[in-house]
Amino acid sequence: MSKAEPAPGRQLTSYVSFQNVQKTYDGDNLVVKNFNLDIAPGEFVTMLGPSGSGKTTCLMMLAGFETATHGEIYVDGTPVNHLAPHKRDIGMVFQNYALFPHMTIAENLAFPLKVRKLSNAEIEQRVKRALEMIELPQLAGRRPGQLSGGQQQRVALARALVFEPKLVLMDEPLGALDKQLREQMQYEIKHLHERLGVTVLYVTHDQTEALTMSDRIAVFNEGVVQQLATPTELYEQPANAFVAQFIGENNKLPGQVSRLDGSRCQVRVGNALVEALPVNVAAAGEQTTLSIRPERVQLNPVEGQCDNCFDARVLEMIYHGDHLRTRVQLMDQDQFIIKVPNAAQRLAIAEGDRVRVGWHSRDCRALDAMSA
């Protein structure tokens, strides 16, 4: 059967393409709104967002377990909206592992190969290779119930890869693991992807997981992609207040633009004037939310070092090993956070002290207004 032609006027530059995809369950409320995404061959893209934001629905439409209400989904140039899931040749990894409890690990890995009617010799060779890939060759004869959670997740990953798909979908695959094991598995999946070169679409609500593993991240909220960018761009250059707040820790200061001058703006926050980068503001008088990362704020900076410098009062200091998480009262806000590196010579400050805090205007972004 010949491959279907790409949509008219469309250049085939991606392996996966969502084009104007929408999804509604009741005919009125869209859980996915006009979703567009192109994923390059071999790319690791994560869909990140809070529960109910539409990310898993997009993954399930690509897998074939949900049907798009509007728009088209392409895999390798072929429209797949009306293809049955088993005809899409996609590997899937779920949070609950979905391993067959009555089969051995080797039999679990062999199952997708038997379905595809490979020879016994080829099946044996691929299962052996898959077990070596996840460094569990000694567990081939055990059943899933005899393995730890991390080992089961490795097997689930190997089963998704054993038939050598070009595309693998992962839906919260590490959600059931404890923190230390989850972090270890993040690196294992990342390194495995780098070695094999498969295309991966990953779903999570854990922003640290997304930043660690992804080539690009699509941040979802209420069925709409708020920003699609590399991890560095998302963290350093959030496009709006939602992304700034959702990705990493973030100080937000509500204010009003008092002056807009090219690549700089001045924002009034209470009785203070703050210099910032205008990102989502167009004119003086607009309401805005200032975004400043805690690690970009300096405590008692050298005079003249920062173009924003203000008085504050220390409310709380919490030891985090590599840094002190310092909460101060600033501009009538009592949740302003500063991450002070735990250097050899700590700052001699205590709760209740009056201090100066400062930051560069280049690290302060004037975004759209949002509730404080």
- Domains of the chain, by residue range, sit at 16-236, 249-367
Q: Output the CA angle 134-140-142, nearest 5 degrees.
A: 115
The architecture of the domain spanning 249-367 is Beta Barrel (2.40)
Model pTM?
0.86
**Tens of each residue's pLDDT in the chain, 372 residues:** 233 343 444 444 899 999 999 999 998 999 999 999 999 999 999 999 998 899 999 999 999 999 999 999 999 999 999 999 988 989 999 888 789 999 999 999 999 999 899 999 999 999 999 999 888 999 999 999 999 988 998 899 899 989 889 999 999 988 878 888 888 889 988 988 998 899 999 999 999 999 999 999 999 999 999 999 999 999 999 999 999 999 989 999 999 999 999 889 999 999 999 999 999 999 999 999 999 999 999 998 888 889 999 999 999 999 888 888 999 999 989 999 999 888 745 667 889 999 999 999 999 999 999 754
* CA-angle at 305, arms to 302 and 307, nearest 5°: 130
How many C-beta atoms surround the C-beta of residue 190 within 10 A? 15
Are the C-beta atoms of residues 286 and 257 closer than 8 Å to each other?
yes
CATH number of 16-236: 3.40.50.300
Which token pair is 83? 């293809």
Domain 16-236 matches domain 249-367 at the CATH topology level: no
Distances from the Cα of 348 to the Cαs of 345, 353, 361, in angstroms? 9, 10, 27
Extract the tokens encoding 285: 């008088």
Burial label, 175 (beta-carbon count in 10 A; 0-12, 13-18, 19+) = middle
